[in-house]
Amino acid sequence: MYRVMLIDDEQSARSLLKASINWERYDMEVAGEAASGIEAINIIDEIVPDIAFVDISMPFMNGIEFTEVATKRYPGLKIIIMTAFDEFEYARQCIRLPVFDYMLKPFVRSEVEENLKKLKDILDSTVKDAEPAVEIEPSSIGQIKRYIEDNYTDSKLNLTSVAQIFGFSASYLSRKFKQDTGKNFVEYLTECRMKRAMELAAGNMKMFSASNEVGIPDPNYFGRCFKKYTGQSYSDYASSVSK
């Protein structure tokens, strides 16, 4: 089943698109959502989508910037840019990007479905990459974990970049990392970042500064990660440990 990612800072837009399409008809599923380009880049290695619907106007990293980064990491990713009428010409100017199509918001369901039919035909004819001949040894996983621990403050660190450094495909490293550590790559990277963020919160560093310090420049996404990891908002945690 092909994996679809919805990237839009409007929850209502994501929910409408998700609910109004019979994804199974096209052998597809909505595998993940993100409220900003930064959040999408941080979780895309966990989701590994085949298709992404991307709003052109988002905070911290807009849809065009996301497309530039994501298609370098995943050259086969099919992207549909969603744009309001007054932004449409701006989107058209970005024709140099490997975008499958541009759609006006609010979207028309029949137009979405027509694109999904075309995408399914393309994806059905695509031959998936073979697995690497060389397997990851347990000691290599240890080296990869240490590399993450030493470099997690780099906002560009991701599954694909690490896989390239160590000579493996991203999909293979993702499965092997989860198999050997019990955590997926993104979970481990986030854990490293949140442990440091807790230290910074205890030192009364402002959340905006802390988010940049640990490699998550989108403070909204950082805040959600922090609360999920600690059970408290950044400010509440900082207040509780400073008493």
Q: Which residues contact 18 (CB under 8 A, 6 or more apart)?
A: 6, 30, 33
- Spatial strand order in the sheet of 78-84: 28-34, 2-7, 51-55, 78-84, 101-105
Q: What is the pLDDT of residues 171-206, one digit of tens each?
A: 788 889 999 999 989 999 999 999 999 999 999 999
Beta bridge partners of 52: 5, 79
Q: Are 229 and 191 in contact (CB under 8 A)?
A: yes
Distances (CA, A) of 195 to 31, 87, 201, 213, 219: 27, 40, 10, 12, 16
Q: Residue 213 CB: number of other CB atoms within 10 A?
A: 17
Token pair 């040894």: residue:
137
Enter the pTM of the model.
0.72
Domains of the chain as residue ranges with CATH: 2-124 (3.40.50.2300), 138-242 (1.10.10.60)
For the chain, what is the mean pLDDT? 88
pLDDT bucket at 137, cuts 50 / 70 / 90: confident
Using DSSP, state whether 89 is helix, strand or coil: helix
Q: What is the pLDDT of residues 43-98, one digit of tens each?
A: 888 888 999 999 988 888 888 889 988 988 888 899 999 887 666 666 666 666 78
For position 166, what pLDDT does the model report? 87
Q: Are 32 and 46 in contact (CB under 8 A)?
A: yes
Nearest C-alpha neighbor of 160 from the set 80, 63, 47: 47
